[in-house]
Structure 1
Amino acid sequence: MLLALLALWLAPAGALAADADAGTSDAGTGVLTRPPALKRQVEAPYPPEALQQQLSGTVVLQVDISDTGTVTDVQVLEPAGHGFDEAAVAAVRQFEFEPAEVDGVPAPVRINYAYQFVWREAPPAEAPSDGGVAQAPVNFSGQALERGTRRPLEGADVALPALGLSAVTDAEGRFSLRGVPPGTHEVVVVLTGYQRFETKETVAEGQETRATYYVRKRIFSPFETVVRSERERKEVTRTTLQVAEVQRVPGTQGDTLKVVQNLPGVARPAFNGGDIIIRGTGPQQSGVYLDGVRIPLLYHFGGLNSVYNSDLLESLDYLPGNFPAAYGNAIGGVIDVKSRAPRDDRFGGTASVSLIEANAVLELPVSKDVSVAVAGRRSYVDAVLGLAPEEVTDGFRVAPRYYDAQARVEWRVSSRHTVDFLTLTSDDQLGLVSERPDDDDPAASGEFKLRTGFTQLRLRHRYRGDKLRLDTIGMYGWGIVLVNPPGPGGIDLRYREGTLRTTAEYPLSDAVTLAGGLDISAQRARLSSESSTTPSREGQPELPDAVQTRTRVESKRALQYYPATWVEARLKPVPQLLLVPGLRSESYVYSDQEDPRRVLSPRLAARYTLSEQWALKGGAGLYHVFPTRGEPTRELGNPELLAERSLQTSLGAEWKPSQEWFVSAEGFYNRLSQLVVGSSRTVERGGQPVPERLNNDGRGNVYGAELLVRRALTDRLFGWLAYTVSRSERVDRPGAASRLFDNDQTHVLTLVGSYKLPGGWEVGARFRYASGNPTTPVVGSVRDDVADIYVPFFGATNSERLPAFHQLDVRVDKTWVYERWSLNLFLDLTNAYNRAAFEGVTYSYNYSQREYFRGLPILPVLGVKGSF
């Protein structure tokens, strides 16, 4: 935030202040790494009309500052009349600034600048003695802080109007005045975007009066302000979400990462769960990153909450396709979550409690150059259900619980070097215990356990030179996946992994920037499992467990190694055109393979700016994703599998009629090949015939269009409309009929809006509509006398659809702002009109009757959050 306040010692005197426009811009918003700084100021003469009438006034201006620091345009947003408007505009047009930087690069910005004229009595002249200038001692000083957050207010005007004295607060919010006469005086604190603060202070003879003033923001927000700006484009489509914009989206319980599922190109997952389904591809075919390094999963059980605390996030980049060469091993889309540095100005934190979990965050500066943040969250659904009487649970105990924790230390070694250490951990456990045996179905008795967890240790170094930028992250981690059902079957997977990722950028000129990097990851795993010999793949309905043969794997040890390098150029042959050609080389080495796999992925993105409001964009590229989980094992899959491949193309346009509004429309076509599908063939391996189980015979087509209409966050309002129409088809083997992808959804519509009301109230709503998922119908059954069950016959794959999904979510917040902290009480109402979704089809024991399986009904979540 840019805040500049000039004391004008005329008779009477005036003052002015500038305030960077709060909020975020469109999908191209970057991270402000340096705000614009006032380098040359011009004082405006006090208008004669206002001087004669002893008037004060404030003129709010919209100021455009170029990437060289010059003022290119000034518009009056809130006039004051009496000659104030003309005087302020004329003065600000002559200002010069040190340019702002976005992602370390000079960039144009638009700020709101409030020029304040304060009429004061002229101070009496003091006669110098002994030929010198009389200098009274400082006897009135203090600090101006934002009420509720204790954030220092820079550039605030602290005035004693009756005496004609004033001071401007510094970067720490401090001020001082000399020679204030003894007595009680009125004190006024004025700053753009904040309520006028008035009080009285008593100054005693021979003593210094010290005061702290907590000034309330007109529209309170606990988040830091972001200056609007356009980040350098490196990809065709990117949607950037700032934490301040999305922490109160209805239906997300304040979790920033859950908002991803409301963006164009993302299908609704079953049961509103945690799967990320981007542009007609499977969850495992997209990449989820934290600061450029993958994390194993994004959400806790069922998508309840993300595994990284939202209060420690800075932003989130969503790239649905044609992403740059810096990302690989994905044929869907990319989600890159950006963590933020701990506070370096004050001790602070948050604590929250809801009906399902408790959460806490603490941040503090250890020294001038070192700051620390820690966070932890734990659910207590298991504890609540454990108190329920047996007659309520009918002999069943469901004990789900999850927790996560993060700790980060940042050391600002110098203006060019920054080192930070981040550790994060997540653990989910779900237990289902039947405490009463079932004589008719012994398998119903017993215990079911599911556990997933991981821990990562990350060390990062960033170097920002005059031109060269280096960013290096090393990661070491471990994790577990444990599935222990009653009876036969189960999975026990334990692994250790490491990643080294380094990125370099260097501008050769204004028209050419080169970038490249090294991306190496490895995983060593130990697997024990008992599963179906022919497990169901995407598009294959599940057969009853009793008729399947099983394969047992005991302590299988495997090594996966993924080395990759990439390079790209950002070319501007003319100012309106940006070309980004890139090339990524990836290799895959697995312990059961006979030969390593290597692929090349060329990519090209282009963007042409027609005007300040219109731009065209397009891209094409080749993308690959390697086999995952048990697919390349000799016992469960095929170690000779190739990488799945996608040829992605897209073309679209963007319209930005104002700073607040952004519209993007884009069509896309992705051709998928070498998809991993099930196989019943036998192949020769090592001179012996073995079942192939899996091969790369699958192919597919995904095509559609996306629309995003977005109203960026202002003081009171934000929201967006996201609409996707698409079709995702698959062919499982040569000669087979085309079918729909399991998660194909023809139409997906999301409407999100939130508005801040007076008195600390905020209301928001989210409406979602999605076509029902395809399903494969059962057309008959036959009794298996050996297994004593009925075995179904299935119709054409995915030839039916479930009924469409639609749901309204509502959120109401009330915030109380105290001097040193704030309290937020919220009610998040999911499925407000209680329309349970149709999530699947369930059949009777002999498949003669069927009915829809329904999701959750109305779900109110009440919570409270304190911040300081």
Structure 2
Amino acid sequence: MLNKEKYWLIMLLFTSIFGTAQDRSEVDLVTYLDTVETSFNIRFSYQTEAVQDLKLQNSTFEQLDQTLQYITKQTGLTITKIDDRYYSILPRTSSIFCAQILDAATLKPLEGATIQALNKNASAVTDANGYIELALIKPGDSIKVSFLGYQTEVLKVERLTSNCQQISLAPKSFTLEEVVIKRLFSRGIRKFPDDRIEINTREFDILPGLTDPDILQTLQILPGIESIDESINNINVRGGTQDENLMLWDEIKMYHTGHFFGLISAYNPNLTERVEVTKNANSSEYSGGVSSTIKMYTPNAITEKISGGAGFNGLSADAFLQIPISTKLALQISGRRSFADYFQTPTYTSYFNRSFQDSEIKNDGSSAENIKSLSDFRFHDYSAKILYDISPKHQLRASFISLNNTLEYSESDVDEQLINESLIDQDNIAFGIHLSSVINPAYDTFLNAYYTQYNIRSTDQDFSNNQVLAQTNQVLETAFKAKGTWHLNSRMNFEHGYEFTETGIRNTTSVNQPVFQQRKKDVVRQHAIFGDWSLATNNFRLRTGLRTTYFEKFKKVRLEPRINIRQKIGHFALKTEAALKNQSTTQIIDFEDNFLGVEKRRWVLVNDNDIPLITSKQISLGVDYTQNNWLIDLTGFYKQVSGITASNQGFQNQFKFIKTNGSYETKGLEFLVNKTTPKLSTWFTYTLATNVYSFESLNPATFPNNTDIRHSINTGGSYALFNNFKIAVSLNYHTGRPYTLPIENAETLPSSSNTYVVNYDTPNAANLEDFMRFDATANYSFNWDAVTAKFTLGIINILNQTNTIQRYYEVNPDDNTQAIAIQNNSLGFTPNASLRLTF
């Protein structure tokens, strides 16, 4: 028997349930008026034409006044009381339209959005709370809602109400183009119709081997993108070298890419919101990367609340904050630092051994008998961004970033007297500012300026001989760009602009005993005008452009046409891309004057002589199929790059110290299959390619490229066991890279200086053993009040497979008639774990 309190509690519960479950379906206004007349014993007088097409939600009220107010708000009609029983209903032929414009993602009001009544001379701009009132509007009229950086909407006014209607605008970056598939490999990775790949780190879910969304590691899951030595400093896009990739961070060109001298990305993913990767015909607005363009962007919207996070893994700790100072001003800051100088984890030990295995640096505590060695390695990156909305139509953004790697190494004897002390310091500091403006609904502008400085410095001091060797490589670059976008109509755009770039590079080497100094500095200035025309319909997309660049120093003009076409036919789409590109900076690899054996690359400028302008010609043809969350993509490509130098390629054979110019030609097929469901994503990628050098002054003149990976496979999947627990596994396989063997039974030969050198056979005629690696990751996430926590465990090379990534030869110091192999291996079994908190 229930007591009285329980009885009333149950009755109250049932009453609340059924009371809130009233019929909220739409009904015709005429039917609704008939019901009101019966309920309140009144009569309405109206013209049938004024109400016959109107509908409203079927809601009931206890009071007549409440009912009449509800009808007025929902329909915009005027109700006038004639006497106690009769009421007249009259239409509003023209009235005030009220709305509030919101950001679809954050629901933040948009100040300065424009609403224009089509076919009428009426428009207005929203206030600080996103509200707008527009006269001369009636139901059935069309309005156009637009705002800088957001998709323009054209809507019909269904009714006029005193409660302002909410209209949400989606950011352009998410709606400018149809996404071919919502998720590629993992949540947060998208593929667009023009073959751009976007990585959204805020939405990033899980990939095998990664505990954090490492931006540049993630790229290597894509077909056509490899790293022949497992290094971010050596990402090879369709057979190109690392310096052929244009790296932009908030529209600033960067000359430094990786921490740990290339094993992890130097860009903190927590304040890098999204990354765009283009392998072929990008917009003519960008030049300088003959193989690819990689653009990284930080958040660009001012949020209402403070947000941020912090975390750590086996290598470093980091934190980031987004701080709204006012509705028009905000600050973003982030920082990351390694902690190996305080505490060393198994992850750090594995990375250290991999990074410094072919250098002067030892990690075993001794470099020779009775000699003790110490090494201290650390890295950091810091970034900041100021966001200021000057007015509803003008947005100012300023960005700053600092990246650094520092390595200190020393050797001492048994009496702890220093024998040798070395230091290498590598950094990239950059600052950029840009202004976005809406001139009118059909035209907007973008002004951008930046300064970037890259430095690598090393000193090597031999105390026994009182000798000091110092080396530097410095890049200073400033640029200014002005761009306008003319929105001809909803389907056509025309982008055009001008860009000026000044790049200066300095290389120095100095020795105190014997005294030797070498300094070289070059400057190249470029003036470029560019224009892109784009057309988009339901099934057809076209973007074509031309960039014209004038090089002051050489008094030469270079043209760079681009074209990108996509035609959709049912679930299939045919696509083609073609581009000509130029590049004025490159890297040379100096095996004699390298930085402690760790960093061998130096940035240099073209001089139109022994270091010519690098040019590329590319074309690709493909077809893709999308249906039921399946994506199947097949693309064939051809690329020719000329103007490369032998010293840029890193030859470890008979061409090691030869300086000459040449080209390479690569062609192949890229195949991708991806199936996604809400819980499962599986993928298979395969790349078949050939890559051949052509150097007229070498013998032989043609031979396989150092980056010639004939077959490459990446296959894996991720699965959500529960809503908050996910796992991912993958297999990475590719055939071995080429290398050069010494001649059998004649491995060395005497040189002119009464020493011996390796007697190499045909260049790149042999291949290393095939590379194979299994990776796995699992993560668990949970909410704790307003904080979201995620714990991730990742393992690289879970089977501890020994993979050789480089092999070359040196003369045996104990027998100068023999050559010994110097071999570098990839990462072994490498566990890592991370804990991340966000709010």
TM over 0.5: yes
By how many angstroms is 1:396 displaced? Answer: 2.3
> Is the Cα contact below 8 Å between 1:566 and 1:582 reproduced in 2?
yes
Q: Following the alignment from structure 1 to structure 2, what is the Cα–Cα distance between the partners of residues 837 and 666?
A: 29
CA distance 1:382–1:795, change in 2 (3 Å)? farther
Q: 2:730: which partner in 1?
A: 766
CA distance 1:452–1:42, change in 2 (3 Å)? farther
User: 2:572 is aligned with what amino acid?
Assistant: W
> Is the Cα contact below 8 Å between 2:254 and 2:452 reproduced in 1?
no
Q: 1:657: which partner in 2?
A: 627
By how many angstroms is 1:617 displaced? Answer: 0.6
Question: Counterparts in 2 of 1:330-369, with a 5 A limit?
Answer: 330-341=289-300, 344-369=303-328
Q: Following the alignment from structure 2 to structure 1, what is the Cα–Cα distance between the partners of residues 808 and 646?
A: 25
> Is the Cα contact below 8 Å between 1:342 and 1:372 reproduced in 2?
no
CA distance 1:13–1:227, change in 2 (3 Å)? farther
Q: 1:858: which partner in 2?
A: 829
Q: 1:501: which partner in 2?
A: 481
By how many angstroms is 1:459 displaced? Answer: 0.9
User: 2:577 is aligned with what amino acid?
Assistant: G
Cα deviations across residues 763-802 of structure 1 (Å, max 9, x unaligned)? 1123211111111112244476997864111111111111
Three-state SS of the structure 2 residue aligned to 1:381 is: coil
By how many angstroms is 1:706 displaced? Answer: 0.7
State whether structure 2 residue 388 is matched by structure 1 residue 411: yes
TM-score (norm 2): 0.68
Runs of 5+ consecutive residues of structure 2 not aligned to the other structure: 1-15, 30-53, 71-104, 110-127, 130-172, 181-190, 350-361, 367-371, 463-467, 590-601, 649-656
By how many angstroms is 1:235 displaced? Answer: 8.0
Q: Following the alignment from structure 1 to structure 2, what is the Cα–Cα distance between the partners of residues 858 and 729?
A: 34
Question: Counterparts in 2 of 1:557-576, with a 5 A limit?
Answer: 557-571=521-535, 576=539
By how many angstroms is 1:710 displaced? Answer: 3.3
User: Which of 424, 434, 439 is the aligned partner of 1:450?
Assistant: 424
Question: Counterparts in 2 of 1:392-431, with a 5 A limit?
Answer: 393-394=365-366, 395-431=372-408
Q: 1:329: which partner in 2?
A: 288
User: Which of 6, 17, 21 is the aligned partner of 1:13?
Assistant: 21
Which structure has the bigger radius of gyration?
A: 2
State whether structure 2 residue 219 is matched by structure 1 residue 255: no
Q: Following the alignment from structure 2 to structure 1, what is the Cα–Cα distance between the partners of residues 311 and 739?
A: 41
> Is the Cα contact below 8 Å between 2:497 and 2:530 reproduced in 1?
yes
User: Which of 715, 718, 739 is the aligned partner of 1:754?
Assistant: 718
Cα deviations across residues 553-584 of structure 1 (Å, max 9, x unaligned)? 53434322232221122246x76433322211
Q: Following the alignment from structure 1 to structure 2, what is the Cα–Cα distance between the partners of residues 756 and 95?
A: 44
> Is the Cα contact below 8 Å between 2:302 and 2:387 reproduced in 1?
no
State whether structure 2 residue 560 is matched by structure 1 residue 586: no
User: 1:299 is aligned with what amino acid?
Assistant: G
By how many angstroms is 1:674 displaced? Answer: 3.3
> Is the Cα contact below 8 Å between 2:455 and 2:473 reproduced in 1?
yes
User: Which of 509, 518, 525 is the aligned partner of 1:529?
Assistant: 509
Cα deviations across residues 664-714 of structure 1 (Å, max 9, x unaligned)? 2110011233333469xxxxxxxxxxxx98554x122110011223346x6
User: 1:666 is aligned with what amino acid?
Assistant: T
Three-state SS of the structure 2 residue aligned to 1:284 is: helix
User: Which of 638, 641, 661 is the aligned partner of 1:672?
Assistant: 641
CA distance 1:739–1:626, change in 2 (3 Å)? same
CA distance 1:739–1:783, change in 2 (3 Å)? closer
Q: Following the alignment from structure 1 to structure 2, what is the Cα–Cα distance between the partners of residues 344 and 602?
A: 40
User: 1:370 is aligned with what amino acid?
Assistant: L
Q: Following the alignment from structure 1 to structure 2, what is the Cα–Cα distance between the partners of residues 403 and 324?
A: 33
> Is the Cα contact below 8 Å between 1:342 and 1:364 reproduced in 2?
no
CA distance 1:716–1:445, change in 2 (3 Å)? farther
Q: 1:599: which partner in 2?
A: 558
Q: 2:764: which partner in 1?
A: 798
User: Which of 445, 449, 455 is the aligned partner of 1:480?
Assistant: 455
Three-state SS of the structure 2 residue aligned to 1:503 is: strand
CA distance 1:374–1:9, change in 2 (3 Å)? same
Question: Counterparts in 2 of 1:17-32, with a 5 A limit?
Answer: none
Q: Following the alignment from structure 1 to structure 2, what is the Cα–Cα distance between the partners of residues 437 and 778?
A: 40
CA distance 1:765–1:391, change in 2 (3 Å)? closer
> Is the Cα contact below 8 Å between 1:506 and 1:514 reproduced in 2?
yes
Q: Following the alignment from structure 1 to structure 2, what is the Cα–Cα distance between the partners of residues 801 and 419?
A: 53
Cα deviations across residues 288-312 of structure 1 (Å, max 9, x unaligned)? 1123332112222343432222112
By how many angstroms is 1:279 displaced? Answer: 0.5
Three-state SS of the structure 1 residue aligned to 2:207 is: coil
Q: 2:796: which partner in 1?
A: 830
Cα deviations across residues 389-443 of structure 1 (Å, max 9, x unaligned)? x9962322222111001111112234432111111111111233223499xxx9x
Three-state SS of the structure 2 residue aligned to 1:313 is: coil
> Is the Cα contact below 8 Å between 2:560 and 2:579 reproduced in 1?
yes
Q: Following the alignment from structure 2 to structure 1, what is the Cα–Cα distance between the partners of residues 549 and 770?
A: 40
> Is the Cα contact below 8 Å between 1:841 and 1:851 reproduced in 2?
yes
TM-score (norm 1): 0.65
> Is the Cα contact below 8 Å between 1:627 and 1:641 reproduced in 2?
no
Three-state SS of the structure 2 residue aligned to 1:259 is: helix
Q: Number of residues paired by the alignment? A: 637
Q: Following the alignment from structure 2 to structure 1, what is the Cα–Cα distance between the partners of residues 287 and 603?
A: 22
By how many angstroms is 1:43 displaced? Answer: 6.8
CA distance 1:477–1:95, change in 2 (3 Å)? farther
CA distance 1:639–1:253, change in 2 (3 Å)? farther
User: Which of 682, 685, 691 is the aligned partner of 1:728?
Assistant: 691
User: 1:478 is aligned with what amino acid?
Assistant: Q
Cα RMSD, aligned residues only: 4.3
Q: 1:205: which partner in 2?
A: none
> Is the Cα contact below 8 Å between 2:584 and 2:606 reproduced in 1?
no
CA distance 1:331–1:378, change in 2 (3 Å)? same
State whether structure 2 residue 740 is matched by structure 1 residue 776: yes
Question: Counterparts in 2 of 1:118-517, with a 5 A limit?
Answer: 125=62, 230=178, 236-246=194-204, 248-257=206-215, 258-341=217-300, 344-384=303-343, 393-394=365-366, 395-436=372-413, 446-464=420-438, 465-485=440-460, 491-510=471-490, 512-517=492-497
Runs of 5+ consecutive residues of structure 1 not aligned to the other structure: 1-7, 17-40, 46-93, 97-116, 134-149, 155-170, 173-224, 532-549, 680-691
Q: 2:669: which partner in 1?
A: 705
Q: 1:70: which partner in 2?
A: none
By how many angstroms is 1:726 displaced? Answer: 0.6
Q: 2:142: which partner in 1?
A: none
Q: Following the alignment from structure 2 to structure 1, what is the Cα–Cα distance between the partners of residues 194 and 20?
A: 55
CA distance 1:277–1:785, change in 2 (3 Å)? closer
> Is the Cα contact below 8 Å between 2:679 and 2:719 reproduced in 1?
yes
State whether structure 2 residue 644 is matched by structure 1 residue 644: no
User: 2:422 is aligned with what amino acid?
Assistant: F
Q: Following the alignment from structure 1 to structure 2, what is the Cα–Cα distance between the partners of residues 747 and 95?
A: 63
Q: Following the alignment from structure 2 to structure 1, what is the Cα–Cα distance between the partners of residues 615 and 448?
A: 28
Q: Percent identity?
A: 18
Q: Following the alignment from structure 2 to structure 1, what is the Cα–Cα distance between the partners of residues 647 and 457?
A: 24
By how many angstroms is 1:342 displaced? Answer: 5.7
CA distance 1:629–1:800, change in 2 (3 Å)? closer
User: 2:641 is aligned with what amino acid?
Assistant: L
